[in-house]
Each structure stands twice: as C-alpha cells, then as structure tokens.
C-alpha cells in the first residue's frame, strides 16, 4: 500500500499505540477524582499538557484539550465571539478556511454577527492589504489558517497578526494550525496569536483528541457545559489515553523538526517537478518562484501537500484507478464527508472551471519514501492516457 492521504489522517505511530494501551490499562481513574487512581490519571494529563506547552514555548495553563481540530476551531471562534459581543460583532476570516471555521462563522452570521470573507491570491495566500482594509472599530476576531489543507499554501501569520496588533491590540487572532503543527514551527508568541487549533491524528496520534492554545488573559466563553473541567472552559472527563497519545505524537513529530521538514520538502519538490513533466497537469498553490533551471518551484508552500489538476480526467475516476493499484489519495478537503462538492479553496484561487472536478490532493508524511513517489508517478504515467481516451470519446 502507498498511502498519500496524510492530510486526511496519518498512520498512528507504533510507539503511540503501545503507550496509549499502557495508559488505558494502568491509569483508568477519572482525573477529577480525589483518590489515588484519579490523582495518577490527572498526573498523566498534567504531564501531557507540560510536554505540549514546552513544544509551543507556552504556559501549560494555556493548553486546553479537546476532541480534535473541529472542536478547537469551534471553541476558539464561537467562544471568543460570544465572550466579546459587547465590544463588537465583526469577524474576519478567509474564503479558504477549513469547514470547521467557515461553518462556525456562518452560524454566527445567522445570529447577527457580521463576517468579512477575505479573498486570496492565486497561490492561496491572504493579502495583508485586504486584511488591513477589512479591520474596523467593530472587529473582535480574525481567524486565518496557517497552512491550507487542500493546496498547501502557507500564510505569513506573524505578518498578518502584526497588522491586527497595529490597528487594535485588543482584537483576537486565531489560527488553525492543524496542517502545520508537526511540519512547520508553530510558536504562538512569535506568531503573535491568541488562539491555535491542533489535532492529534494529523501528526501520527489518535483520532478524537486535539488541543486549543488559549493565550493567558484571552476573553473566551465555553461552548460545552457540565462538570467544569479544564478551568471551566472545556467540561467533560478528560480522555487520558488520547491526551497521552497526543503528547507523545507531538514530541515525536516535532523533534528535529527542521531536519524532518527539509527532507519532506525535498520529496515534495521532486514530486512536483515530475508531475509537471506529465502532459496536461497543473500543480496548484505554487507561489510563482522559480528553480535555477527556471522551472516552477514549490518554495514557500507547506512541505507535505500537493494539489494537482489532471485535464480531461475526472478526479474520482483517477482516484479509483490509483486505488486499484493500492495507492491512496484524496479528491477533496481533509476531514470533509465523502460526498462530492465543489471545492471552496480551488474556486477561491480562480482555478479553471474544467479543472475543479479534475483535481487530486497528494499528501505525504515523514514516512513517505522516494520509491513510493516514483511508483505513483509510474502509475499516473500509465493510467492518464487510457483514462483520457476513454473520457473523451
């Protein structure tokens, strides 16, 4: 099997699986219980929080465990919107956010909040000038993702947050770092952000767990109500094995991050160059930079995501042709349902209408090998002419 759908989910590290099994068996107490079994479980949660805070160079009190990226995004956006409604009701986001962000702000719109959706350039990045123009005295929150989950565009969050801080330091800034954590540096204080969303299953951890970084002093309301765990911000008994798995996956993924990211980027650069040698293939989200030989460069993009459009072939047909060879890729957004829909991201970057239904996403991990990429390219080279002949009849 060649697995190139890591932006949807990653294979769980064996060390994480083994550690979670150990934790589930030995530390089954409720972390809120006052007896020793509860205290032991609570220590696992506390140690995990400290591990993640260390990676982010943050205060452990700033880490809130959630059920994953979707809940983290919902808590960040809805929680801050409701908490700061007396100050204003204007929210700014981009048109290429993950549905966990877009659907949340659309819901808030239905409740009377005003939302500005920023356009993006052809490379999928938010123009700092458009953000500056959108800010107003009523703005309370800006949410712009770090790495786009479909085309791998990377926003300069530090520059964007700097614009917001210059305008009004009290405006909160949230970034969805689900696709960047474990591949790029995610340091909230350096980035100048108040809230950061992360999910475990994108970094070889378990599904159903994640965290939200919430800067100390941020005014935010809970969206779940119950026993008041995690200082009242996220009620519900903590998922001790999941949290432990998240912490270990974070440690393993973020260790020697620069070296791992460089290796991954080299794999991507090679893949992109070889894809562009195939007839009628377009790689989306490139910044326009050139290599020394004047060929398109992948510089400035995330090291693991490649969006490619194959003219004359429907995406789902090519996807299943690859699947028949045990090569797994995606034709849509990470974490979306399997129902086909027009991509908001590809539409936002102005992709030709004919290519909207002819685009696949290949997403790698640190486990992806050059041999797997070459095998995928070989299958594409063999299958594309056949599929084009069939579909153009």
Active site residues: 335
Q: In this structure, what is the dihedral angle of CA atoms 77, 82, 83, 86, given to the nearest 10 degrees? A: 130
User: CA end-to-end span of the chain, whole Å?
Assistant: 32
* Selection from 67, 52, 231 nearest residue 75 by Cα: 67
Structure tokens at 35: 């007896």
Structure tokens at 238: 């903590």
Across the chain, where does the E strand assignment appear? 2-3, 63-66, 90-94, 114-118, 139-143, 172-176, 195-199, 210-214, 281-284, 305-310, 327-328, 359-363
Instruction: Count CB atoms within 10 A of the CB of residue 33.
Output: 14
The single residue listed with the structure tokens 């970057």 is 349
Give the SS3 label for residue 303.
coil
Count H helices and E strands in the chain, helices first: 12, 12
- The enclosing H or E element of 167 equals helix 157-167
**How many CA atoms, within 13 angstroms, populate the side-chain half-sphere of residue 323?**
11
* Selection from 373, 378, 388 nearest residue 310 by Cα: 388
Q: What's the CA gap between 41 and 244, in Å, rounded? A: 10
Structure tokens at 265: 């980027």
Across 251-317, where does the E strand assignment appear? 281-284, 305-310
The single residue listed with the structure tokens 């309370």 is 140
The neighbouring-strand residues paired with 5 are 363
| Cβ atoms of 218 and 172 closer than 8 Å | yes
- What is the phi/psi pair of residue 290, to 5°? -120, 150
**How many CA atoms, within 13 angstroms, populate the side-chain half-sphere of residue 286?**
18
Structure tokens at 218: 């941020």
* Selection from 118, 77, 63, 71 nearest residue 96 by Cα: 118
Instruction: Count CB atoms within 10 A of the CB of residue 218.
Output: 17
């Amino acid at each position: 099997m060649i697995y190139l759908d890591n932006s949807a989910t990653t294979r769980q590290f064996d060390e994480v699986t083994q550690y979670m099994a150990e934790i589930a068996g030995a530390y089954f107490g409720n972390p809120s219980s006052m007896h020793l079994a509860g205290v032991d479980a609570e220590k696992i949660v506390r140690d995990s929080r400290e591990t993640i805070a260390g990676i982010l160079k943050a205060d452990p009190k700033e880490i809130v465990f959630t059920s994953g990226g979707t809940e983290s995004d919902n808590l960040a956006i809805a929680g801050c919107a409701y908490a700061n409604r007396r100050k204003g009701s204007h929210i700014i986001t981009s048109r290429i956010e993950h549905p966990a962000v877009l659907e949340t702000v659309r819901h808030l719109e239905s409740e009377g909040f005003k939302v500005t959706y920023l356009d993006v350039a052809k490379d999928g990045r938010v123009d700092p000038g458009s953000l500056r123009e959108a800010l107003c005295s009523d703005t309370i929150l800006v949410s712009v993702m770090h790495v786009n989950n479909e085309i791998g565009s990377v926003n300069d969050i530090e520059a964007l947050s700097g614009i917001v801080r210059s305008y009004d330091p009290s405006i909160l800034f949230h970034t969805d770092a689900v696709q960047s954590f474990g591949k790029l540096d995610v340091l909230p204080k350096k980035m100048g952000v108040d809230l950061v969303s992360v999910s475990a299953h994108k970094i070889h951890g378990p599904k159903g767990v994640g965290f939200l970084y919430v800067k100390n002093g941020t005014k935010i309301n809970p969206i779940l109500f119950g026993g008041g765990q995690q200082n009242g911000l996220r009620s519900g008994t903590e998922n001790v094995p999941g949290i432990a798995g998240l912490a270990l996956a974070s440690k393993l993924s973020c260790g020697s991050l620069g070296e791992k990211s460089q290796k991954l980027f080299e794999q991507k650069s090679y893949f992109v160059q070889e894809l562009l040698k195939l007839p009628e293939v377009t790689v989306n989200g490139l910044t326009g930079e050139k290599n020394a030989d004047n060929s398109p460069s992948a510089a400035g993009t995330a090291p693991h995501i490649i969006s490619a459009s194959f003219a004359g072939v429907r995406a789902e047909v090519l996807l299943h042709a690859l699947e028949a060879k045990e090569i797994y890729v995606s034709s849509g957004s990470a974490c979306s349902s399997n129902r086909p829909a027009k991509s908001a991201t590809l539409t936002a970057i102005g992709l030709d209408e004919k290519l909207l239904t002819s685009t696949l996403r290949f997403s790698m991990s640190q486990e992806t090998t050059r041999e797997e990429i070459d095998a995928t390219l070989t299958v594409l080279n063999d299958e594309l002419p056949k599929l084009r002949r069939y579909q153009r009849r």
